[in-house]
Structure 1
Amino acid sequence: VASTGTNNRVMTSLDGTNWTIRTSAADVGWYSVCWSPELSLFVAVASSGVGNRVMTSPNGINWTKRTSAADYDWRSVCWSPELSLFVAVASSGVDERVMTSPDGINWTIRDSAADNNWVSVCWSPELSLFVAVAITGSGNRVMSSPNGTNWTIRTSAADNNWYSVCWSPGLSLFVAIAISGVGNRVMTSPDGANWTIRTSAADNSWRSVCWSPELSLFVAVAYSGAGNRVMTTLSIGYRPSFRFIQTVRSDSLSMVHTHDYPSNTRLYYKVNSIDKFGRKSPVSHVIRILTI
């Protein structure tokens, strides 16, 4: 989605390479879009417009205007499958820079933890936690919430202009990036409450960051810099968790073994099992691998 253009502020792609322009529901300043698999619905939010700062689509092509909870500068929206809830944050408003919706259509205004310019929000399923970051504030440019309604202010690692935050399930880590700061435009947190400053690859104006589980990789992009407007970080030593379930050829024995093991690696082993009669014998297993 885009904040400029005439009837063409949406584009879609099946492969990330070839893009098609789509008609937006209104020519307002669209800033953020997210997808709900459970509702089969895209939701976008905008920083401008009169009563129409939300639009929804079931397919990314046909968009419908929705009434926002308030005409604030909505800058970011995300979806929580576990709570069946959309949460959006704004950079304007008085004491209520958050809105929530269970369906993308009906929105309720919520109190923010502070009247900072909140510009990015993400959800951690593992922690059951929303985290938002801001470009203004004094030592309080992070807030978190377990439900999208009740928000708690958190101490940011630095008073940089934090522009984007994302969650890595594999690393159990939040990463935020900033458009300001000297050599410190990244901060990380394992819990959304305690943040540590990190060295950025360059002092560019970093605008967005995301995580790839398949590549074990963070990627951030910037709107300033000379030939270096992308930075990545590879999580060396990342070990995804797998559950190995052994199914035995005996009605008298059932056994489950859980083991963390690197991806793209085969595990071979032989187990001597003891059945309920106290008999010890090797058992043939069929191993099924499930990512968790």
Structure 2
Amino acid sequence: MQPVSEQNSEIKQHPAMPLIRRHLFPVIISVLFMLLSNPASAEVRSERWRWSNPLPHGNNVLDMFVTSEISAQAGDSGTIYVRRSDDRWAPAVTGVENYMRSVTMLGERIIATGESGCILWSDDGIDFQQAPLSPANTLDWFEGVDASPSRAVAVGDYGAIYTSTSGTNWVSAISGTVEWMRGVAFGGGKFIAVGETGTILSSTNGIDWAAQTSGTTEHLNRVRYLGIGGSGQFYTVGNNGALLRSGNGNSWILMDSGATNDLFDVALNTSGLLLVGDQEIRMSADGGTTWVDQINDLPTNASPAWVYLSAHGKSDSWLVAGRTGLLMEGLGTNAIDCAWQPSPSESSHAWLWDMTEQNGLYVAVGDLATIQTSLDGILWASEAVPVPLTNTVLLGVGGTSNLLLAVGSEGHVLISQAGLVDVSVTNEVEGFGVVWTNLPQFTTNSLQGVAATDGLFIVSGAMGKVFTSPDGTNWTERATSTENFLSSVAIGSSACVAVGANGTLLRAGPDGVSWSAVPMGTTNWLYRAHWLENQFVAVGQNGSIYTSPDGANWTSRTSGTSRWLTDVTFADGQWFVSGYQGTLLASTNLADWSPLRLPTGKSLFAASSKNGQLVLAGVEGVILRNQIVPATSPVLLLDYSQSLATDSNAVSSVYELFLFGGQPDQFFEFQSVTNLASSLWQTNAVLELFDPSGTIYAIRTRDATNAPPSEFYRTRVLP
């Protein structure tokens, strides 16, 4: 969205509650505030997905462009994140699902390139447009992009090179090679492009290219022009630890990186040179002669083993990003060492295998005995488990409003009960979902399925095991006719079902005592089953979806996908099914299923919902949320203030501060009009309450020379 006014005003953020969308406001004075809200309409809008974990987001960061004023990240599923001085990586609206591979700036215009000939550009970092290409409709992936002050160059598959002087229209250039090109950089008056089998090309104008001798046949993944104090050199990194340097882009020197894994980026700051890659972060303080492994060689504050894809150096600090959005900040502590910490520090990357919502509380469980809880789906807390179980893989979770069960490997079962629990001599806390204790093992077989109603708890797992309990603590094994892994169990109004490997489906009466096989005519693993809206719904391997009103008679449904389906939930008249590789399906009748777009290609293992909010969880700690039924409560103008300041040139400015308050994840318009008799309200900005507190500051500056006109304000909640 473009600014609505060209007057001399500027929106800034408050450091505590930053502004996600920056638009220029007209010069106004608040004399009245009115409230409007639109009726709620349930819709899974693709641009409304937000990350709850990991933070700031969970998309792979293939490339970063970082300056003191604006930064951008390019990632999977058409995602681009832009950070301004508020330090928040805000998601942009791209309108594409292509994997974005590289990002740069041509002047003040952001350019991102990616899968299947996709080139995007934006002047505000909020809304991106796709640029036309000539020749059009290329399917070549553009793996790298960089710009001189007057021209941008994108490189990609089969030697593809496209150039543009504006970033909005692109024309093909002749590279002279059919090798796949993976990176490009501009510096010292020259473009350098690198690619597979050690290919290096150079150009002084971005149009005419010449091949250079690299001295290696390794695939080269990235090239950067790096320098401090006005001069620089080209560095390129590649597979199997390949590292090369050149002062002019023509003559290249092979360097010993100390690494054997693939390298994906290189950065420079006053501390030295940094290499990042697959389980690799290495720093050299002497220009590349000796290297310190920042993952394995540091005694403290080492960076975790991970796939790092991009890096940036600033002064004596580093910003490194990688798979599933992991951001690490490094600060030089001496000539060879850094202190590394995740940014932000509260994110978890443990895989999450199951999730439930009970008594207003979301609970997700996963690897390393991970238990995450949330009251709102936005803020998640890690709960402590008994020390002997910290290496347990928790595969399933469920329960009632009074008792939660988490089950996992080797038959371990954790419980959390409602009510106050003593945690020290003087303190008590509400124990539900917070305080977890382990039950004595009643089996050594791994458990995954969990279902519960008042008076009946059921768990299932390996070797066809099914156990029932009236209270969640005393368990009885029930006989079954299978040794297949039973990964899920569900309790209906008149029957119970358990599903698992090789198309196994068992049925029991409402007491869960006697189990018998139900032939399903499939060998697909039926991974998960739930009782939702008076229907059993089972999902699994190869896009399997089956439904039944009684657990005995099942109908196979056409899902439209061959991917594994992993969970099912119900929200606001729709069933939602999650699955591998970012799959999400929706249906209003269980017969017709439609795919929905997600901002990730990560596999999802769990789905849950409450109060019109859909929450998904899965690989490497991924937790996504979407408020599909928008909150209709009005957004309030909580405060307004002015202050006057004069700069060094004796120019006076008025700073106006607006404080809005509402519900997190609400979108609203800030509108104004000069005459209440007029119906021509002007939308000054579209804002999002992204902070969990539900508040946001907008700070505007204007020239104090001319008095602004009086105006009336109101907010309008967007559906």
1:203 and 2:203 equivalent? no
Any idea what SS the aligned residue of 1:136 has? helix
Pick aligned residue for 1:233 from 587, 594, 611: 587
C-alpha deviation, 1:92, in angstroms: 2.3
Any idea what SS the aligned residue of 2:468 has? strand
1:78 and 2:451 equivalent? yes
Partner of 1:193: 552
C-alpha deviation, 1:179, in angstroms: 2.1
Partner deviation per Cα, 1:80-139 (whole Å, 9 max, x = no partner):
22xx0110111226xxx11111222221222123222111111112xx2111111225xx
Inter-partner Cα distance in structure 2 for 1:13 and 1:3:
15
Partner of 2:458: 87
Partner of 2:409: 47
Pick aligned residue for 1:132 from 498, 508, 529: 498
Any idea what SS the aligned residue of 2:586 has? strand
1:108 and 2:476 equivalent? yes
C-alpha deviation, 1:67, in angstroms: 1.7
Inter-partner Cα distance in structure 1 for 2:557 and 2:590:
16
Partner of 1:151: 515
C-alpha deviation, 1:64, in angstroms: 0.3
CA contact (8 A) 1:77 1:120 kept: yes
Inter-partner Cα distance in structure 2 for 1:218 and 1:4:
27
C-alpha deviation, 1:235, in angstroms: 2.5
Partner deviation per Cα, 1:141-194 (whole Å, 9 max, x = no partner):
11111121210110115221110111223xx321111123xxx51111122112
Corresponding residue pairs, total: 210
Larger strand percent:
2
Pick aligned residue for 1:160 from 524, 547, 550: 524
Superposed CA RMSD: 2.0
Name whichever of 56-65 and 228-237 sits farther off. 228-237
Inter-partner Cα distance in structure 2 for 1:76 and 1:47:
12
C-alpha deviation, 1:236, in angstroms: 8.7
Inter-partner Cα distance in structure 1 for 2:505 and 2:470:
24
Partner deviation per Cα, 1:208-267 (whole Å, 9 max, x = no partner):
11223xx1211111123xxx5111111399xxxxxxxxxxxxxxxxxxxxxxxxxxxxxx
Given residue 584 of structure 2, which amino acid in structure 1 is its aligned partner? V
* Identity over aligned pairs, percent: 29
CA contact (8 A) 2:410 2:443 kept: no
Structure possessing the higher radius of gyration over alpha carbons: 2
Partner deviation per Cα, 1:22-52 (whole Å, 9 max, x = no partner):
1123221111111222xx1111111236xxx
Partner of 1:222: 579
Given residue 173 of structure 1, which amino acid in structure 2 is its aligned partner? Q
CA contact (8 A) 2:564 2:580 kept: yes
Partner of 2:365: 2
Instruction: Kindly report which structure 2 residues correspond to 1:262-281, keeping only aligned pairs within 5 A, or say none.
Output: none
Inter-partner Cα distance in structure 2 for 1:173 and 1:161:
20
Partner of 2:158: none
Partner of 2:73: none
Partner of 1:123: 491
Inter-partner Cα distance in structure 2 for 1:16 and 1:194:
36
Inter-partner Cα distance in structure 1 for 2:457 and 2:468:
5
1:17 and 2:378 equivalent? yes
Larger helix percent:
2
Structure 1: where are the runs of 5+ without partners? 238-292
Any idea what SS the aligned residue of 2:410 has? coil
Given residue 539 of structure 2, which amino acid in structure 1 is its aligned partner? I
The ranges of structure 1 where at least 4 consecutive aligned residues each deviate by more than 6 angstroms after the TM superposition are none
Identify if the C-alpha distance between structure 1 residues 136 and 47 changes in structure 2 by more than 3 Å, giving closer, same or farther: farther
Identify if the C-alpha distance between structure 1 residues 157 and 186 changes in structure 2 by more than 3 Å, giving closer, same or farther: farther
Partner of 2:438: 65
Inter-partner Cα distance in structure 2 for 1:185 and 1:32:
20
CA contact (8 A) 1:46 1:54 kept: yes
Inter-partner Cα distance in structure 2 for 1:149 and 1:198:
29
Given residue 231 of structure 1, which amino acid in structure 2 is its aligned partner? L
Inter-partner Cα distance in structure 1 for 2:492 and 2:552:
13
Given residue 574 of structure 2, which amino acid in structure 1 is its aligned partner? L
Inter-partner Cα distance in structure 2 for 1:236 and 1:44:
29
Identify if the C-alpha distance between structure 1 residues 157 and 176 changes in structure 2 by more than 3 Å, giving closer, same or farther: farther
Partner of 1:33: 397
In the superposition, the TM-score normalised over structure 2's length comes to 0.28
Partner of 1:267: none
Inter-partner Cα distance in structure 2 for 1:92 and 1:102:
23
Given residue 48 of structure 1, which amino acid in structure 2 is its aligned partner? E
Partner of 2:539: 177
CA contact (8 A) 1:157 1:196 kept: no
Structure 2: where are the runs of 5+ without partners? 1-363, 418-431, 592-719
CA contact (8 A) 2:450 2:459 kept: yes
Inter-partner Cα distance in structure 2 for 1:48 and 1:110:
18
Partner of 2:182: none
Inter-partner Cα distance in structure 2 for 1:63 and 1:13:
15
Inter-partner Cα distance in structure 1 for 2:521 and 2:535:
15
Given residue 2 of structure 1, which amino acid in structure 2 is its aligned partner? V
Given residue 481 of structure 2, which amino acid in structure 1 is its aligned partner? A
Which structure has more RCO (C-alpha within 8 Å, separation ≥ 6)? 2
Identify if the C-alpha distance between structure 1 residues 235 and 196 changes in structure 2 by more than 3 Å, giving closer, same or farther: closer
CA contact (8 A) 1:23 1:63 kept: yes
Any idea what SS the aligned residue of 1:24 has? coil
